[in-house]
C-alpha cells in the first residue's frame, strides 16, 4: 500500500464519522508496532492538506519492561517533525510481578489507556487517536460473540465524558494486510513488543479464527465488517456517508 492510498482510506473514515474538527490537538497512541506507526504517517500526511487544521503529538506509554528501546521512534518523529512524548510507568511490574495476572491483557489495556488519557489531557489534547484497523474491528466483534454473548465492537469515535476527551480510530477502513504492505514499503522502524503475553492472547485466537473463516469462505471478513457498521450499535455515531461493501477508496477521495 502506498502513502496516497493510506491517506485516502484514513480521510474517508474521518469524514464518514466526523472524527476531526478545526483546531483539534490530537495525541497519537504509539505502541511501536506497525499499526501505530502507520497511523502516525497517515495523520502526519493528512495534516498537510486537510481543510480543517489540526495538530498532532505522538505519545507512548512505557510499561516498564526491560529492553524496550524507543530510539527508532524518537528518530522517526524527529524526521517527521512531530513532537514525541514518552510516559514512563510500572504497569508491567504491577500486572506480572505484584498481581501475577494469568489473563493480563484486559487490565493492562485499561491501565495503559488510563495513563495515556491522563497524560494527553495534561498536554492540552482534546482527542486521542488509536491505530485499530478493519481486522481489529472484526476480531473484537468475534471476541464479543464468543466470550460475552453479544454483538459488539468498539466505536470509530467515542467521547469520554469523565476525561472530556474523544477517542478516534482513523484506520478503521484499512486492512491489516495493507498495513503490513505499508510497513515493508516504507521500512517502518517498528519496536518489538516486550510483553510476555504477546501472541498468546484471546485476541490472537480470534485473529486466527477470522483468518480461517475467511480462507474457507472468501469475502466473509468483509461481510462481517459490513454487518458491524450497518448495525445501530450502542455508542456508534451516525455515518455521514453510506458504506459500500467492498469499495476501496480511490486516490480521487483525497480531493475536495
φ/ψ of 26, rounded to 5, equals: -110, 125
pLDDT at 253 over 70: no
pLDDT category of residue 252 using cuts at 50, 70 and 90: very low
Could you please report the per-residue DSSP string of 24-53?
A: EEEEEE--SSHHHHHHHHHHHHHHTT-SS-
- The architecture of the domain spanning 3-133+154-197 is 3-Layer(aba) Sandwich (3.40)
Q: Are 135 and 176 in contact (CB under 8 A)?
A: yes
As a whole number, mean pLDDT of residues 229-241 equals 86
Mean residue pLDDT across the chain:
88
Kindly report, residue by residue over 169-215, the tens digit of the pLDDT.
999 999 999 999 999 999 999 987 766 566 557 888 999 999 999 99
- Residue 130 CA to residue 167 CA, distance in Å, equals 7
pLDDT category of residue 243 using cuts at 50, 70 and 90: low
pLDDT at 255 over 90: no
pLDDT at 162 over 70: yes
Distances 148 to 142, 155, 204 between C-alpha atoms, Å = 10, 17, 17
- Residue 30 CA to residue 191 CA, distance in Å, equals 10
Kindly report, residue by residue over 79-127, the tens digit of the pLDDT.
999 999 998 876 777 776 666 666 666 777 788 888 898 899 999 999 9
Q: Give me the pLDDT at residue 254, please.
A: 47
Could you please report the per-residue DSSP string of 64-119?
A: --TT---HHHHHHHHHHT--EEEEE--HHIIIIIIS--SS-HHHHHHHHHHHHHHH
Q: Hey, CA dihedral for 169, 183, 177, 192, is it positive or negative? A: negative
pLDDT category of residue 256 using cuts at 50, 70 and 90: very low
Distances 25 to 19, 77, 190, 228, 229 between C-alpha atoms, Å = 12, 16, 25, 29, 27
Kindly report, residue by residue over 26-76, the tens digit of the pLDDT.
999 998 999 999 999 999 999 999 999 999 999 998 887 777 789 999 999
- Residue 210 CA to residue 220 CA, distance in Å, equals 8
Amino acid at each position: 500500500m502506498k502513502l496516497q492510498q493510506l491517506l485516502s482510506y484514513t480521510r474517508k473514515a474521518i469524514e464518514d464519522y466526523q472524527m476531526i474538527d478545526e483546531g483539534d490537538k490530537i495525541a497519537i497512541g504509539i505502541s511501536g508496532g506497525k499499526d501505530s506507526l502507520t497511523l502516525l504517517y497517515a495523520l502526519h500526511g493528512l495534516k498537510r492538506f486537510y481543510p480543517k487544521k489540526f495538530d498532532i503529538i505522538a505519545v507512548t506509554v512505557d510499561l516498564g519492561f526491560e529492553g524496550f528501546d524507543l530510539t527508532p521512534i524518537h528518530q522517526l518523529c524527529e524526521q517527521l517533525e512531530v513532537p514525541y512524548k514518552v510516559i514512563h510507568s510500572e504497569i508491567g511490574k504491577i500486572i506480572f510481578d505484584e498481581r501475577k495476572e494469568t489473563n493480563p491483557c484486559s487490565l493492562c489495556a485499561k491501565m495503559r489507556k488510563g495513563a495515556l488519557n491522563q497524560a494527553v489531557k495534561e498536554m492540552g489534547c482534546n482527542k486521542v487517536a488509536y491505530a485499530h484497523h478493519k481486522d481489529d474491528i472484526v476480531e473484537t466483534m468475534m471476541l464479543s460473540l464468543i466470550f460475552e454473548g453479544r454483538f459488539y465492537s468498539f466505536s470509530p469515535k467515542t467521547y469520554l465524558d469523565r476525561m472530556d476527551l474523544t477517542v478516534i480510530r482513523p484506520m478503521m477502513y484499512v486492512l491489516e494486510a495493507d498495513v503490513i504492505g505499508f510497513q515493508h514499503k516504507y521500512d517502518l522502524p517498528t519496536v518489538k513488543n516486550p510483553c510476555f503475553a504477546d501472541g498468546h492472547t484471546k485476541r490472537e485466537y480470534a485473529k486466527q479464527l477470522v483468518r480461517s473463516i475467511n480462507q474457507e469462505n472468501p469475502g466473509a471478513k468483509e461481510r462481517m465488517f459490513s454487518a458491524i457498521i450497518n448495525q445501530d450499535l450502542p455508542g456508534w455515531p451516525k455515518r455521514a456517508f453510506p458504506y459500500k461493501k467492498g469499495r476501496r477508496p480511490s486516490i480521487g477521495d483525497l480531493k475536495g
